[in-house]
Amino acid sequence: MTKISLYIVEDENIIANDLKNKLNGFGYEVLGIDAKGEKAVDSVSALAAKNKLPDIILMDIKLAGTIDGIETAKQITDKYSCGIIFFTSLNKNEVFDRSFFLKPYGYLFKPVDVDQLRMLIEVANYQRNLEIGYTKAIDELKSEVEKRRKAEKETEQRLHEKIKAEQKVNQLLKSKNQMEMDLINRELATSSIFISQKNKIIGLIRKDVNRQLRKGKAITKSDFSKVLKTIDENVKFENDWYRIKAHFEKIHPGFFDRLREQFPQLTPNDHKLCALLRMNLSTKEISQILKITAPSTEISRIRLRKKLVLPKNVNLVQFICRV
């Protein structure tokens, strides 16, 4: 069992040493003796620095220094968890009133009865150990509560972040679905434009043929020339470009304005090629519409890439779709 460590603050040297010898004889460990309060404060601080803080300090109220035992006890207990037992020859009520706020473990009147002192030391040490145990338990409980509160806060934060991430994913999926629907609608609209133009050409040709058939005469070279003229007039891209452009701008509003603003170096022919690429038409389809060969279309695409200063790893159609 660990010895109870004591410290004696007593200005009468004979009494202090007599107490020390008797207490050592009882099995206590007396760590030192001081006669002045200031010296006692310094001595206890030095012991604390060596991790040898006394369990209980036997403190005389009347000391030889500039501060009395009550002030000395206050300065020590403000910093350290030492128990205090007061010795006094003064009026009991006066001592109690002045020292009650320090919560000492007991009082003994001089001359000190050693047996009473021994009993008081044991009770005081027991009470002090209980208080230390309670304080430790409360600190551990506070620490556990704080850990749980922190864990709950982190869990709540992770849950909030998870919900936020799911909302963001749902929003992105919704945007993706909307973009896909918009793309499908635009492709349908673009296809409808060309189907409408083709149907119109076929209708005009059919009308010319029926007109010749109703005449009941043999179809001459001149009649075929009129039909061919109708075909040539309607498949000529320049004649239909303005109508196609009007439909295109309904589907892709502001496209040509953005082209002119971002790439002022592009020509009207470049704008036409960009529009056809934006419709996601193949090289063959673009060649048929522009009435040029497929190699010429490829050359036009290469020139357009150079004007746009596109790196090799950037897809031309995807780039134009982002304009």
Q: What is the pLDDT of residue 39?
A: 93
8 falls in which pLDDT band (50, 70, 90)? very high
Q: Which CATH architecture has domain 5-112?
A: 3-Layer(aba) Sandwich (3.40)
CB 82 within 8 A of CB 53: yes
Q: What is the pLDDT of residue 193?
A: 60
% residues pLDDT > 70 (the chain):
85
Measure the CA–CA gap between 321 and 273, rounded to whole angstroms. 13
Whether 3 has a pLDDT exceeding 90, the answer reads no
pLDDT in tens, 295-322: 999 999 999 999 999 998 989 988 998 8
Measure the CA–CA gap between 33 and 24, rounded to whole angstroms. 13
pLDDT in tens, 11-70: 888 999 999 999 999 999 999 999 999 999 999 999 999 999 999 999 998 888 889 999
Q: What is the pLDDT of residue 30?
A: 92
Q: What is the pLDDT of residue 206?
A: 75
Give counts: helices (H), strands (E), the chain. Answer: 12, 5
Tell me the H-state helices in 101-236. 114-214, 221-235
pLDDT in tens, 185-241: 566 556 656 655 666 777 777 777 777 777 766 667 776 777 677 666 665 555 556
Q: What is the pLDDT of residue 305?
A: 92
Indicate where the chain has its CATH 3.40.50.2300 domain(s). Answer: 5-112
Backbone Cα Rg of the chain: 52
How are beta strands 56-60 and 29-34 bridged, if at all?
unpaired
Q: Across residues 238-264, what is the average pLDDT? A: 79
CB 271 within 8 A of CB 259: yes
Q: What is the pLDDT of residue 36?
A: 92
**43: CB partners within 8 A, 6+ apart:** 7, 32, 34
Q: In what order do the strands lie in the sheet with 29-34?
A: 29-34, 5-9, 56-60, 83-88, 106-109
Show the tokens assigned to 295: 């190699």
CB 323 within 8 A of CB 262: yes
pTM here is: 0.47
Q: What is the pLDDT of residue 298?
A: 92
- Give 289 or 71, the one with higher predicted confidence: 71
Measure the CA–CA gap between 109 and 106, rounded to whole angstroms. 10
Average pLDDT, the chain: 83
The CATH fold assigned to 237-323 is Arc Repressor Mutant, subunit A (1.10.10)
Whether 5 has a pLDDT exceeding 90, the answer reads yes
Indicate where the chain has its CATH 1.10.10.10 domain(s). Answer: 237-323
Beta carbons within 10 angstroms of residue 147's beta carbon: 10
Q: What is the pLDDT of residue 209?
A: 74
CA distances from 299 to 36, 94, 283, 292 (A): 106, 111, 11, 11
Q: Across residues 148-177, what is the average pLDDT? A: 88
Minimum mean pLDDT among 26-30, 258-262, 279-283: which range? 279-283
- Give 10 or 206, the one with higher predicted confidence: 10
pLDDT in tens, 284-300: 878 877 778 889 999 99
Tell me the H-state helices in 26-113. 37-49, 69-77, 92-99
Q: What is the pLDDT of residue 54?
A: 94
Beta carbons within 10 angstroms of residue 63's beta carbon: 23
The SS3 of residue 263 is coil
Q: What is the pLDDT of residue 185?
A: 56
Q: Which residue has the tokens 């008081």?
A: 120
Write out 176-212 in H/E/C secondary structure: HHHHHHHHHHHHHHHHHHHHHHHHHHHHHHHHHHHHH
